[in-house]
Amino acid sequence: MSVQAAADPDVERKVPATSAPSKATLNPDSLSKPRSILAYLALFAGIANFVPGNTVWASVFACLAIVLGWGNLRRVGKAILVLIVLLALSSAVFEPTALAPAAGNMARISALIITVMLLSAVLGQTRDLKVISRSLFGGRSTVRYMSMTFGTTLLAIPLNFASVGVVATMIGLQVKERGDSALARNAARAVVRGFGGSPMTSPLSISIVMTVTFLPGLSSWKLIAVGLPVATLYLLAGALAREQEPPQPVTPPPGEDEESALLPWLRFVAIIALICLGAFALSTWVGLVYSLAVTLSCLAVVILGLLHQWKVEGVLALPSLAAMNNELVIMGGASFLGGIIGTFALTWLGMDFSLQAWAYPLVAIAVPWLFFVGGAVGINPIISGTLSGSILGPIWPEYGLLGLGLGMVTGWGITIAGTPYSANALLLERCTGYSAQRAAYEWSLRYSLIALTLSSLLCMVLTLP
């Protein structure tokens, strides 16, 4: 299913026979227009830093969009929404200072995920993407898998979720044109695993920024120096955990078709480069936080794409955001809950507790597994990272900080690649029609468990006195 289908309820029902229909498909909501308007308002409020209280308004708009789509929410989304209400009320009574930072977290993450979906929708309407998709799915299966998985990781360094949205759109076009196949399923594996490698090694990823923030004694270059080979091994090993593809029929002579892919690729690379440069400039020279820098950079490309569409077709049609309530509650809501719970932990637990020296390596073993188990029940890694960093950081011995930091970033990466409730899993499902549950557990569970075991053992070694 292509991204265009995500905005069209009638088209959205036409998923591949092998994928389970989502709850949003089974329970269409008549309030789609108000929900879409509220999502746009959440986006504009989230980026309007010059407006006093903009993050509060952004959170309110996002929550209203989520509530109006209650009938379309997954079970985990409903649970997160209930927790948002309960913890917000508790914070208002016991720790009012926690509300503003939590609302800021939700506003920034919500604006980012909305913009990524808009970018995917706009790119999905271009003819270039169809040409690129056909060229991308050619060649030997191993080379194709490696290029897609490492390519997604590289794109995720500056683009974050946009890397999944863009590449998954190509896979969706392949599924729409040729149907379900081992080729498309392996491509889907490559995308989610490629994105999972980014939190382990990207200097701009939320995981590394958050880890270094909570562990100020750990330098980012040390964490990246260890995370890079771990991420590389993780991505290479993925080639052993995929389906065998039947021989592909030889495509008819190339000539014109092969040459016609050159300009679309160049235009596509130019778009990606524009987003990368924009994000770099805004975060480095203007001083914006990374999430806002990427949001604004992607939004600029979205606006240019819509203006181009208007010029060519004479119609300016904004993509619908009505189907985004699950992404908003899982990502935006998780960031809100993480902010609240982290503040409570710092305030109530204090700094007067510690562990025995022998216990730290055992806890380091458990950290990646805690991320994964949390992700399996719908707890976003943002919450797991906030809790582990805010609670363990102050009591962790300095000699073992690298072990704790690596456990956080590897646990984060394996979780977003191997559990069904992460934003990239939802984006993959939205763009391709492949069930997030199936992609996480049927396709990659053994692969994830092996990666967690090896990561845990390495974290234990790095935490030894």
pLDDT number for residue 352: 65
| Tokens matching residue 267 | 């235009």
| Tokens matching residue 438 | 């199936």
What's the 3-state SS for 357-380? CCHHHHHHHHHHHHHHHHHHCCCC
Tokens 């975060």 found at: 283
Question: How many Cβ atoms sit within 10 Å of the Cβ of residue 29?
Answer: 18
Give the dihedral of Cα atoms 342, 343, 344, 349; nearest 10 deg: 80
Lowest average pLDDT, out of 93-97, 254-258, 387-391, goes to 254-258
pLDDT number for residue 278: 85
| Distance in angstroms (rounded) separating the CA atoms of residues 387 and 171 | 35
From the DSSP assignment, how many helices (H) and strands (E) are in the chain? 24, 0
Question: How many Cβ atoms sit within 10 Å of the Cβ of residue 316?
Answer: 10
| Tokens matching residue 384 | 């797991």
| Tokens matching residue 300 | 């600029």
Q: Are 19 and 435 in contact (CB under 8 A)?
A: yes
Tokens 């990666």 found at: 451
Residue 359 scores a pLDDT above 80: yes
* CB-based burial label for 24 (10 Å; 0-12, 13-18, 19+): buried
Q: Are 77 and 326 in contact (CB under 8 A)?
A: yes
Lowest average pLDDT, out of 220-229, 270-279, 368-377, goes to 270-279
Share of the chain above pLDDT 90, in %: 27
Instruction: Output the CA–CA distances (angstroms, integers) from residue 171 to 10, 136, 148, 338, 365, in the order listed.
Output: 20, 9, 11, 33, 36
* CB-based burial label for 280 (10 Å; 0-12, 13-18, 19+): middle
Residue 459 scores a pLDDT above 70: yes
Would you kindly state where each structural domain of the chain is located, as residue ranges?
3-242+260-463
Residues 29-76 have pLDDT tens digits of 558 889 999 999 999 999 998 889 999 999 999 999 999 988 888 787
| Distance in angstroms (rounded) separating the CA atoms of residues 168 and 162 | 10
Q: Are 187 and 243 in contact (CB under 8 A)?
A: no
pLDDT number for residue 256: 45
Report DSSP state, residue 240: G
| Distance in angstroms (rounded) separating the CA atoms of residues 47 and 58 | 9
| Tokens matching residue 272 | 């990606």
Residues in the chain: 465
Q: Spell out the long-range contacts of 353-356 with Cβ–Cβ below 8 A and sequence spacing 24 or more.
A: 353/395, 354/395, 355/395
pLDDT number for residue 385: 84
Top-confidence residue, 216 or 26: 216
Q: What is the mean pLDDT of the chain?
A: 81
pLDDT number for residue 161: 65
Tokens 């508790």 found at: 90
| Tokens matching residue 452 | 């967690």
| Distance in angstroms (rounded) separating the CA atoms of residues 90 and 93 | 5
| Distance in angstroms (rounded) separating the CA atoms of residues 113 and 47 | 12
Q: Are 212 and 290 in contact (CB under 8 A)?
A: no
Among 112, 121, 176, 119, residue whose Cα is nearest residue 3:
121
pLDDT number for residue 6: 34
Instruction: Output the CA–CA distances (angstroms, integers) from residue 58 to 42, 45, 61, 423, in the order listed.
Output: 4, 5, 5, 19
Angle at 354 between CA 391 and CA 205, to 5 degrees: 30
Top-confidence residue, 321 or 389: 321
pLDDT number for residue 133: 62
Residues 189-212 have pLDDT tens digits of 998 999 999 899 887 677 887 788
| Tokens matching residue 274 | 């524009």
Top-confidence residue, 299 or 246: 299
pLDDT number for residue 314: 79
Residue 170 scores a pLDDT above 80: no
Mean pLDDT of 240-265: 65
pLDDT number for residue 453: 96
Mean pLDDT of 340-359: 74
What is the three-class DSSP state of 249? coil
Q: Are 386 and 342 in contact (CB under 8 A)?
A: yes
